[in-house]
Amino acid sequence: MPVFTGENSDTVHEHLFFDGDDGYWSVRAGDWKLVSNEAGELELYNLNDDIGESVDLAAQNEAKVVELNRVY
């Protein structure tokens, strides 16, 4: 768990991918996490500033949404 908690600062992978049920998926790159929720809507979070994923930044960071969506 050191990678997720920030205890290990070495980059293990450039991107982390998660797949769940009902169409849910996410991709993480650095501080950014793009989530596709059950409705298929894309949400973007800066985990450095918002570890609880409560402030969706997708509308303010459209280029980052496109970038991470392409990676997925």
Kindly report the three-state secondary structure assignment for every residue of the chain: CHHHHCCCCCCCCCCEEEECCCCCEEEEECCEEEEECCCCCEEEEECCCCCCCCCCCCCCCHHHHHHHHHHC
What is the pLDDT averaged over residues 20-48?
93
Please state whether the predicted TM-score (pTM) of the whole model is above 0.85: no
More confident residue, 18 or 41: 41
How far apart CA 27 and CA 71 sit, in angstroms, is 8
- Kindly list the structural domains of the chain, giving each domain's residue range(s) and its CATH number in brackets, ordered by start: 2-71 (3.30.1120.10)
pLDDT band of residue 22 (cuts 50, 70, 90) is confident
